[in-house]
């Protein structure tokens, strides 16, 4: 009886060991599949839904600080939703606006990590140049600066712009333009240092950018913690007068 009990115990122990080994093998077999699925989901999300972008310069201060990270809603662009005045948008360089190339790390491990972050959308692609500005004028709008109180006007309605960097004028250069169809007039909140539409009026398009270059609207700051929060459209852009000819 003792020998039979010992044999039974050995059989149970052997079965348990085999089951454990099968579980371990199953985990290692499934891990690459799970990683592949996670990467595929991340790719789909950053391609069609939401992508993170890091702020590289002070052109949107104090709304956005250097090193802040924002989430950009890309779904609206895919669905053909209209861009609205006052939104902070990310767009592809229309040509010659970004002059500083992305420096790739020399360390292959660091470069590999950067490649993964680019793939999952936590960093923009190295071969793409993006900018972030605020939409001031839509197609057909007449944008002027400045009125007798030094304000930018849209179709004759002055903008109250508390988001402009303290001490900056509404614009560094004067302008009076009508935004062409299919294009936008954009400006940085730090007007003195932002190379935006007002600084590119000699370019093709008169400083405006193509609507097709818009990646999406930046709707929330997720990093750094002390500067995190939503990016709402300022109330000045809700004026009914903006939709009237000025």
Residues with catalytic annotation? 59, 133
177's CB contacts (< 8 A; 6+ apart) are: 137, 142, 143, 144, 185, 201, 206, 207, 208
Q: Are 126 and 102 spatial neighbours (Cβ–Cβ below 8 Å)?
A: yes
Q: Residue 178's closest CA among 137, 134, 133? A: 137
Q: Are 208 and 51 spatial neighbours (Cβ–Cβ below 8 Å)?
A: no
> How big is the CA angle at 62 (ends 56 and 68), to the nearest 5 degrees?
40
Tokens linked to 98:
């970004």
């Amino acid at each position: 009886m003792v020998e039979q009990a010992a044999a039974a115990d050995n059989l149970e122990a052997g079965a348990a060991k085999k089951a454990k080994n099968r579980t371990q093998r199953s985990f290692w077999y499934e891990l690459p599949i799970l990683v592949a699925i996670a990467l595929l989901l991340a790719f789909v999300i950053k391609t069609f839904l939401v992508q993170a972008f890091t702020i590289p310069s002070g052109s949107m201060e104090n709304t956005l600080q250097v090193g802040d990270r924002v989430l950009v809603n890309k779904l609206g662009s895919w669905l053909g939703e209209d861009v609205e005045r006052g939104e902070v948008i990310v767009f592809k360089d229309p040509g010659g606006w970004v002059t500083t190339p992305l420096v790739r790390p020399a360390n292959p491990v660091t470069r590999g990590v950067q490649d993964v972050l680019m793939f999952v959308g936590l960093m923009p692609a190295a071969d793409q140049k993006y900018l972030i500005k605020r939409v001031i004028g839509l197609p057909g709008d007449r944008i002027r600066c400045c009125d007798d109180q030094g304000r930018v006007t849209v179709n004759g309605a002055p903008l109250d712009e508390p988001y402009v960097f303290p001490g900056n004028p509404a614009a560094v250069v004067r302008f009076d333009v009508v935004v062409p169809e299919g294009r936008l007039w954009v400006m940085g909140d730090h007007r003195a240092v932002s190379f935006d539409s007002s600084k590119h009026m000699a370019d093709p398009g008169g400083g405006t950018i193509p609507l097709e270059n818009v990646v999406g609207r930046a709707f929330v700051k997720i990093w750094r913690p002390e500067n995190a929060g939503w990016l709402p459209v300022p109330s000045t852009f809700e004026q009914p007068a903006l939709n009237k000819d000025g």
